[in-house]
């Protein structure tokens, strides 16, 4: 069955970087993109970006341009999200999901806390 | 960027009632509209895609309608397990594939 398993919670200082992983299984990794969505505490869903493992193409929300990088490792069927220059407002649960919308395959979420 | 606006923000209803949630797009998104349900501590769950097609395993009491800029999600007979926050998402224009701000459905 399709599974997306994300890395564990992170606590970072303001200005630091965080890298979240999303290990997939149960399907051909190169055949589907990966989308990243985040959710701040008590807030709604925010689309961050998408990556194609097959060609490496990325689409980012303009909001994160310049401090967001999405990558994949096809040898381990794993996608990565790296967010730099963290601010307090980046505290959120970060979700990966399979391919573009609409999708019913999601990771369990990774809590990233930005705190001093 | 397409702005998605959902209404109302919160609904408090009793089991058995009929529920209609609204979602409006700032410009036409054709029928490229999905609805998700999210419960506390869980990832979103896909309910409807293509504005009106139920996802696999979704009960028939959930239905979606609309095209262009106006969309609705109806729960014909509210069940206690239907509590949660409902989000619409357009995927016609990207990036980004924007979400509405959500409608919270509370069970009385």
Are B96 and A103 in contact (CB < 8 Å)? Answer: no
**What are the tokens at A78?**
């794993």
Closest to A104 (Cβ–Cβ): which among B45, B91, B98? Answer: B45
One digit per residue, the tens of pLDDT, for chain B of length 108 reads: 999 999 999 999 999 999 999 999 999 999 999 999 999 999 999 999 999 999 999 999 999 999 999 999 999 999 999 999 999 999 999 999 999 999 999 988
pLDDT of residue A49: 97
Contact B46, A104 (CB under 8 A): yes
A59 vs B94: CB contact, 8 Å cut-off? yes
SS3 assignment, position A57:
coil
Position of tokens 């800029």? B69
Of B1, B43, B89, the CB nearest to A101: B89
Distance CA(B21)–CA(B6), nearest Å, equals 8
Cα(A10)–Cα(B41) distance, rounded to whole angstroms?
A: 17
| Among candidate residues B97, B73, B105, B71, the one with its CA nearest the CA of residue B3 | B97
Query: Which residue in A101, A106, A108 has the most chain B C-beta atoms within 10 A of its own C-beta, making it the best mutation to test that interface?
Result: A101
Mean pLDDT over all residues of chain A? Answer: 96
- pLDDT for B107 equals 86
The shortest C-alpha distance from B84 to chain A (Å) reads: 12
Q: Give the nearest chain B residue to A110 (CA atoms).
A: B43
Distance from the Cα of B96 to chain A's closest Cα (Å) equals 5
Cα B72 to the center of its chain, rounded Å: 7
Per-window interface: B 66-95 vs A, CB < 8 A: 85, 87, 89, 91, 94-95
Model confidence pLDDT, tens digit, residues A1-41:
999 999 999 999 999 999 999 999 999 999 999 999 999 99
pLDDT at A63: 95
Among A62, A100, A102, the residue to mutate for chain B (most B Cβ within 10 A) = A102
Q: Are B15 and B79 in contact, with CB atoms under 8 Å apart?
A: yes
Residues 6+ apart with CB under 8 A from A115: A11, A12, A13, A88, A91
């Amino acid at each position: 069955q399709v599974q997306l398993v994300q890395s564990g919670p992170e606590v970072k200082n303001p200005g630091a970087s965080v890298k979240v992983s999303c290990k997939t299984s149960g399907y051909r990794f190169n055949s589907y993109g990966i989308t990243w969505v985040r959710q701040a505490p008590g807030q709604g869903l925010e689309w961050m970006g998408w990556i194609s493992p097959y060609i490496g193409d990325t689409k980012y929300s303009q909001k994160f341009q310049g401090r967001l990088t999405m990558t994949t490792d096809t040898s381990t069927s794993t996608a990565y999200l790296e967010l730099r220059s963290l601010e307090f407002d980046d505290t959120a649960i970060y979700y990966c999901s399979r391919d573009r919308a609409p999708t019913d395959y999601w990771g369990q979420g990774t809590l990233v806390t930005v705190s001093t | 960027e397409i702005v998605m606006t959902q209404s109302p923000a919160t609904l408090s209803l009793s089991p058995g009632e009929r529920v209609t949630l609204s979602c409006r797009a700032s410009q036409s998104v054709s029928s490229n509209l999905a609805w998700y349900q999210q419960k506390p501590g869980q990832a979103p769950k896909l309910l409807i895609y293509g504005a009106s097609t139920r996802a696999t395993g979704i009960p028939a009491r959930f239905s979606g309608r609309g095209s262009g800029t106006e969309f609705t999600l109806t729960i014909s007979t509210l069940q206690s397990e239907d509590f949660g926050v409902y989000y619409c998402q357009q995927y016609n224009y990207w990036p980004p594939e924007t979400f509405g701000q959500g409608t919270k459905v509370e069970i009385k």
